[in-house]
Structure 1
Amino acid sequence: MDSSSPFFTSQEDFLLFHKMDRDLYRILVINLSRDPSESIHMLSMWLWLEKVGFRNIIKKIMSLPIILINEVADESLICLTCVNNLIAVSSSFSEANDIPLLQSLMDKEISLKFFDENRVEAKEGMSRIGQEICLRAFSDIMQQAMMRNAAERMVENNNFWFGSIAAPSQRLGAAVGNNIGVGAGVQVQQQGRVVVVVPADDRTLFVTFSKGYRVEEWEVREFFTMAYGDCIEALFMQEVAGNEQALFARIVFHKVNTIDMILRGASKVKFSINGKHVWARKFVPKRGNASTGETSTSASAFGSGFGM
């Protein structure tokens, strides 16, 4: 069956054919709470890449842990930004360093330069796939995600108001020196001195490893300890079975400024640990909902250019 010609099948058969695509879209918008419209653009890009010769991308992404699916989605957003001509692509980019996780899933080279050089073809192909396949395949899931996002926003707004009402009693407790919590991440000691406790998530670095280049936990610990001293509070490598390779890890540091020293203002940095490439960025536990609040899933909601 030609997936670019979906109108010759019943809706039931069409959804069955795109079951894996639907499962991946559901992970993006339900499990990871990513923006529904933005996620449709990602699926359009991945399906277009499959059409132009990059094989089994959806299947390979689905085989990843959910935290790495989120990372692949972040890299894909950079590619979409490039396709939309919103960023300049430096000629000094190597073929694999700009989008390392996507590259690890491909059976041939891919980089931002590829998207820059094929911008017109990519925009046209993604727009067509988005209109003819993704809208038809994902509209029910998109509707569900938008309704869920709207409900969560209502709950957050209610919690805000109830929190404002409760605040005076919390401040009263602090004034008399009780050991109670005052807001998130604040602890009051007996003497009345307020100590701000930085949550572990805010002191956590997320690192990913190149597929095929196994990095051990002791190597990660040794690298950061030699560079920044006794800085690691906890290190969590991905749990894998047997001789499988861990593809990511989370490092919790004693101090949040250690992460600032590591990143030096960049969103992502690359290290070489014993000759093996490691990418690091600040850990984000869960993306916030970015729904526009619209419930329409008609083609007109995306515009004639499918938002490209």
Structure 2
Amino acid sequence: MASNAIAIPFVVTQEEVNLFHAIDRELYTILAILLCRDPVESMQVMALWLWLEREGFRNVVKRMLSLPLILINELADETVTCLNCINGTLFSFLSESHDIPLLQAFMAEEISIQFFHENRQRAAEGVTKAGHTVCIKALGDIMIQAIQRNIAHQNSTPTNQSQVMLSPPNIRHPPPVPPPDRTMFLTFSKGYPVHEFEVRHFFTRAYGDCIESLQMQEVQPCEQALFARVVFYSATTIEAILNGMSKAKFTINGKHVWVRKFVARRTSPSMLPPMMWPQNLPVSSIS
């Protein structure tokens, strides 16, 4: 006897989607909320990391969550470089200024800018698919929250405006440069450990007594530090080191070290071209 059972469509609620992608939401919250990175760019960064997981790079998001915020921030920066390569806005992929040493150290498998260049069509399709199937559905509410926060911040007026207007017009001494503006971020190659004394000796020999403080990544005795922060006494030391470039590469005792100016927060709009994702976010709620 034929069955008269009626198929009932299976509906997944938004709460279930959010729960299933809990660690993805946690990492995106770090990027867009805690680190104040551009929310749209951060969603593309997440999409690339999710695509890498589908390509065989295991537990990228889960392992990323165990890292300090400063390292997540730097990995996101290098991922933006990869996205630029995929989108075709980065042509000189063999240039040392576009190296991705932290991503190479973080990934268990070999990865490089050339990998993204040679697989940019597949990568673009994979990133777009991850953005469509995961990011927009599971991260959209966090993105809207971050955008609203940024808009409110941009529209806010300084509360001490009257005090600024009453400041003396002629100041004999320039205001002190805050430490973040005198800080450089250093990254090291995995497998080639660089020690604190080597960094100090390198900069002191080249620029004299210039280091106010130096903080290496905290690791276990058997592990290698992958990054460090150096605060110089003067911001002009950073200008001399970079020599007009945004990033520089040095060799310390035969080991490669990448240096660039430290940027603590990023609230500027994304410079990435828009990905071809469906425009199904409730944009009307962003006001």
The answer for unaligned runs of 5 or more in structure 1 is 1-6, 176-187, 292-297, 303-308
Q: Distance in 2 between matches of 1:246 and 1:88?
A: 31
Distance verdict in 2 for CA 1:272–1:8, change over 3 Å: farther
Of the three residues 204, 209, 232, the one matched with 1:225 is 204
Q: Distance in 2 between matches of 1:9 and 1:195?
A: 59
The answer for unaligned runs of 5 or more in structure 2 is 1-9, 271-276, 282-287
Partner AA of 1:199 in structure 2: P
Q: Distance in 1 between matches of 2:147 and 2:72?
A: 21
Q: Which residue of structure 1 lines up, in the alignment, with residue 285 of structure 2? A: none
- Report the secondary structure of 1:270's partner residue: strand
- Report the secondary structure of 1:123's partner residue: helix
Distance verdict in 2 for CA 1:167–1:107, change over 3 Å: closer
Partner AA of 1:262 in structure 2: I
- Report the secondary structure of 1:300's partner residue: coil
Q: How does 1:128-277 map to 2 (within 5 A)?
A: 128-155=129-156, 158-159=157-158, 162-171=159-168, 193-277=172-256
Report which structure shows greater RCO (CA 8 Å, sep ≥6): 2
Shift of 1:119: 1.5
Equivalenced residues, count: 266
Q: Which residue of structure 2 lines up, in the alignment, with residue 71 of structure 1? A: 74
The reply on whether 1:283 has 2:275 as its aligned counterpart is no
Aligned residues of 1:206 and 1:249 also touching (Cα < 8 A):
yes
Q: Distance in 2 between matches of 1:31 and 1:282?
A: 20
Q: Which residue of structure 2 lines up, in the alignment, with residue 109 of structure 1? A: 110
- Report the secondary structure of 1:206's partner residue: strand
Q: Distance in 2 between matches of 1:58 and 1:234?
A: 32
Q: Deviations over 1:31-71 (max 9, x none)?
A: 01111111111111111111122222112222221001111
Partner AA of 1:100 in structure 2: P
Shift of 1:114: 1.3
Distance verdict in 2 for CA 1:254–1:131, change over 3 Å: same
Q: Deviations over 1:211-257 (max 9, x none)?
A: 34332221111111112221112222233455443332221222222
Q: TM-score, normalised by structure 2?
A: 0.83
Shift of 1:137: 0.6
RMSD: 2.6
- Report the secondary structure of 1:205's partner residue: strand
Q: Distance in 2 between matches of 1:198 and 1:93?
A: 32
